[in-house]
Amino acid sequence: MDNADELFLTVELKGAYIDKKTVAIEEGLKVLFEEIPVGTVVKAEGTAFRKENDKNIILYKGETDEITIAEDENALALVLLPYEDIDDTSAENLIGTKQKPTSVGDIVFSDGSAIAYSADLTLTDEQKAAVIAVIFYAGTECSNNGESRVLGVGLKQSADEILWTTNTTLTAVSSINAHSSSSGAVAAKTATFTGDNDGSDNWSQMQSELSDTGTSGKYPAWEWVHSEYASDWYIPSLAELCMLYRAVSATDSVMNNAIQMLNGTQIEGSYWTSSLNSTTSPRIFDINFSTASINTSNSVDGYKVCAIREF
């Protein structure tokens, strides 16, 4: 293999045990992960790339099936076989090292590619300028049909508290109703959710049921998102905002570390959701990130706003 000293391989273990190693490529190379607990189910994802002008150009991506670590075999060795460069001009233009984000903490670029956050990660000026989101969730709890979703939050949050709507009385919109298994203090840590968990179409559903959504100034929180972000960004549903809280509040949160590295706005305080409760006199769900409380508020209350989207 020519220029082997310029080729690198990143191997990520995912599942019940998470680890990552990046090594220079040579034929017969072994990437060894030691002390994996017996019975652990993992999957390995590999990305081969070369460095060119401070840019990682992906040559190959692949993954293994799920592997169960057996007794007396609690080490996983992955052996690199001979390969040929893949002629993939689209991969050569990627800003990140991953074709798309897959895990919490992944940093997403404007071309849809991503790079996994790590404490020793260094981004080029080009990469920093192209960052658009950090992934806070990957799973099925925020789906209305059981499908897996990957969600990222934008780096900019509203600086001030904003009204959800200037209407003093809320009109019921049943299609955006959500239900929480618990409410009040610390509920955001453990609550489960039913109803409308996917908030990506909540604004369009409001537009179809309410006559005043086209009136300027009527829905300030929504207008902030529409002015600061592209059309595929939105205010998170109750389930989605709760998952954002859990990612932010996790011990040594990779989310917070990534946002801090990128000079983004830290997520703290109380935030609006795009979800209503299901009473005849509807109220809007919000989450206090300081107390982990799930609350419902009326339209005269003001809270911060963040924007998310699916990747």
Q: What is the per-residue pLDDT across 260-279, written as a single tens digit (0 to 9) for each?
A: 999 999 999 999 999 999 88
| Same-domain check for residues 200 and 268 | yes
Domains of the chain: total: 2
Instruction: Indicate the DSSP class of residue 119.
Output: T
Q: Is the pLDDT of residue 223 over 70?
A: yes
Domain edge (last residue) among 93, 124, 148: 93
Please check whether residue 277 lies inside any domain of the structure: yes
Please check whether residue 168 lies inside any domain of the structure: yes
Please check whether residue 119 lies inside any domain of the structure: no
- Residue from 273, 268, 239, 232 nearest 253 by CA: 268
| Same-domain check for residues 166 and 26 | no
CA distances from residue 277 to 116, 190, 221, 271, 300 in whole angstroms, order as listed: 36, 18, 18, 16, 16
| Same-domain check for residues 143 and 78 | no
Over range 236-250, report the average pLDDT. 97
Phi (first) and psi of residue 13, to 5 degrees: -95, 130
Q: Could you tell me the pLDDT band of residue 153, with boundaries at 50, 70 and 90? A: very high
- Residue from 133, 95, 135 nearest 113 by CA: 95
| Same-domain check for residues 273 and 182 | yes
pTM equals 0.72
Per-residue model confidence (pLDDT) at position 17: 83
d(CA 221, CA 217): 9
Q: Is the pLDDT of residue 86 over 60?
A: no
Question: Average per-residue pLDDT in the chain?
Answer: 88
Q: Identify the sign of the CA torsion 110, 114, 116, 121.
A: negative
Please check whether residue 6 lies inside any domain of the structure: yes
| Same-domain check for residues 295 and 215 | yes
Higher confidence at residue 73 or residue 211? 211
Per-residue model confidence (pLDDT) at position 130: 96
| Same-domain check for residues 59 and 199 | no
Per-residue model confidence (pLDDT) at position 114: 96
CA Rg, the chain, in Å? 22
What does the pLDDT look like over 97-129, one tens digit per residue?
999 999 999 999 999 999 999 999 999 999 999
Please check whether residue 73 lies inside any domain of the structure: yes
Please check whether residue 133 lies inside any domain of the structure: no
| Same-domain check for residues 70 and 166 | no
Amino acid type, 112: G
Q: Are 141 and 244 in contact (CB under 8 A)?
A: no
Q: Is the pLDDT of residue 22 over 70?
A: yes
Per-residue model confidence (pLDDT) at position 59: 75
Please check whether residue 103 lies inside any domain of the structure: no
Q: Could you tell me the pLDDT band of residue 43, with boundaries at 50, 70 and 90? A: confident
Per-residue model confidence (pLDDT) at position 101: 96
d(CA 282, CA 272): 14
Please check whether residue 186 lies inside any domain of the structure: yes
For residue 39, the enclosing domain spans: 1-93
Question: Locate tokens 């017996």: which residue?
Answer: 38
| Same-domain check for residues 169 and 303 | yes
CA distances from residue 146 to 141, 182, 278, 299 in whole angstroms, order as listed: 7, 21, 22, 31
Q: Is the pLDDT of residue 194 over 70?
A: yes
